[in-house]
């Protein structure tokens, strides 16, 4: 194990830089100068998004492997680029590192960053490293490109548009419940072995989420252009309300249509948590929520990874969850906030 002060900031950047591969045609110059140089293709617009993850607020290193953390930090940013209907191209990464970290630990973190770069075909083109007197902080800024005028905003939905979500919901939140329970057990008895092996699905949803770039590509192939889109980072209810607010509509979503995976349902039952609430208010699923014109129904209705959960309505109707008995329940954004949990 190598203490950080042995290699210093420049040594560390040098070690990271050595292993970085550049693949995007728009990357002219990557790490190593005062700034990177990029040349977006003609007719493309740039989209940019940034996220800051702080130890003790967004992640807990007790059970979060550094490699997963690096991967997740990139994936959540790529998810925001996807939610604009853009393709990610470059990232920059800034970390502040507490003295307790070794060079090997930082390299493990960047191993995760690089794995995500490969998975999403983005270039790591710059960043910064500094010391930290508190916890670990990692900030990722992602750049992407989209043909001029083709970006999808939150504001384009109209009444009768179908409301769709990718994948399934609630898993990341239940993964967090498992991790927090095991941490408490471990704190009470440091000799105990955490029981994590029984929960692979929800733990993966929490620790190593994926951005749904696959769906962005599929929608393009199907010739479907969403009228509005957002990624599900804070819980479905809050994201539906964001779309409604930006688009000036109401929405109706149906309890029976909400997608949940079997392993997620099993963990919800084990924890005595209402699976519907986990889907509506649990955060960090990083699925895409989008609206499409009613005319696209046939193109999406049999898609294995897209669920039509409801539709937009006139603003005057508000945003409601329709229960099995047909009862409307107003949606509330009571979701998941890192400030509450921190
Ligand atoms: Mg977002």
Instruction: Decide which of 60 and 336 is more confident.
Output: 60
Q: How far is the CA of 78 from the centre of ligand 1 (A)?
A: 10
| Percentage of residues in the chain having pLDDT higher than 90 | 78
pLDDT at residue 11 above 80?
Answer: no
> How far is the C-alpha of 296 from the C-alpha of 157, rounded, in Å?
14
What distance, in Å, lies between the first and last C-alpha atoms of the chain? Answer: 31
Domain ranges of the chain: 8-147, 162-330
Q: How far is the CA of 217 from the centre of ligand 1 (A)?
A: 18
Strand 123-131 relative to strand 87-97: parallel, antiparallel, unpaired? parallel
User: What's the average model confidence in pLDDT over 4-11?
Assistant: 74
CB count in 10 Å sphere of residue 86: 27
Answer whether CATH 3.30.40.230 is correct for domain 162-330: no
Q: How far is the CA of 132 from the centre of ligand 1 (A)?
A: 27
pLDDT tens track for 195-253: 788 899 999 999 999 999 999 999 999 999 999 999 999 999 999 999 999 999 999 99
> How far is the C-alpha of 224 from the C-alpha of 100, rounded, in Å?
49
Q: How many helices and strands, by DSSP H and E, does the chain display?
A: 11, 13
pLDDT at residue 336 above 90?
Answer: no
- Which residues, other chains included, contact 240 with Cβ-Cβ below 8 Å and sequence gap of 6+? 163, 251, 253, 289, 319, 331
pLDDT band at 341 (very low <50, low <70, confident <90, very high): very low
Q: Residue length, the chain?
A: 342
pLDDT tens track for 289-312: 999 999 999 999 999 999 999 999
> How far is the C-alpha of 317 from the C-alpha of 332, rounded, in Å?
14
Q: How far is the CA of 307 from the centre of ligand 1 (A)?
A: 19
Output the pLDDT for position 335: 55
CATH of 8-147, picked from 2.40.340.10, 3.60.15.10, 3.40.50.11540, 3.30.1330.10, is 3.30.1330.10
Per DSSP, the three-state class of 309 is strand
């Amino acid at each position: 194990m190598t203490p950080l002060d042995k290699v210093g900031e420049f040594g560390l950047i040098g070690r990271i830089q050595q292993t970085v591969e550049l693949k995007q045609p728009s990357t002219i110059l990557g790490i190593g100068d005062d700034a990177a140089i990029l040349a977006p293709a003609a007719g493309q617009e740039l989209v940019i998004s940034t996220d800051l993850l702080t130890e003790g607020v967004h992640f807990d290193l007790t059970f979060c492997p550094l490699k997963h953390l690096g991967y997740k930090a990139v994936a959540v940013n790529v998810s925001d680029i996807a939610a604009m209907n853009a393709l990610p191209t470059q990232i920059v990464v800034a970390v502040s590192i507490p003295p307790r970290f070794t060079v090997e630990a930082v390299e493990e973190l960047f191993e995760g960053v690089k794995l995500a770069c490969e998975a999403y075909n983005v270039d790591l083109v710059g960043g910064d490293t500094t010391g930290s007197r508190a916890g670990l902080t990692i900030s990722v800024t992602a750049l992407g490109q989209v043909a001029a005028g083709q970006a999808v905003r939150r504001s384009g939905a109209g009444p009768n548009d179908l409301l769709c979500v990718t994948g399934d919901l609630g898993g990341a939140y239940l993964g967090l419940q498992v991790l927090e329970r095991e941490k408490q057990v471990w704190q009470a008895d440091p000799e105990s072995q955490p029981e994590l092996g029984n929960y692979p699905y929800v733990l993966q949803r929490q620790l190593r989420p994926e951005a749904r770039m696959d769906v962005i590509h599929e929608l393009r192939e199907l010739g479907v252009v969403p009228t509005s889109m957002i990624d599900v980072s804070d819980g479905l209810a809050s994201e539906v309300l964001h779309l409604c607010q930006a688009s000036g509509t109401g929405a109706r979503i149906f309890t029976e249509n909400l997608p949940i995976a079997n392993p997620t349902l099993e963990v919800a039952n084990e924890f005595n948590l209402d699976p519907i609430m986990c889907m509506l208010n649990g955060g960090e699923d990083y699925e895409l929520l989008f609206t499409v014109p009613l005319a696209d129904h046939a193109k999406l209705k049999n898609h294995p990874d897209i669920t039509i959960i409801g539709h937009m309505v006139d603003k005057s109707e508000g945003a409601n969850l329709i229960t099995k008995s047909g009862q409307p329940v107003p949606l509330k954004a009571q979701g998941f906030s890192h400030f509450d949990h921190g």
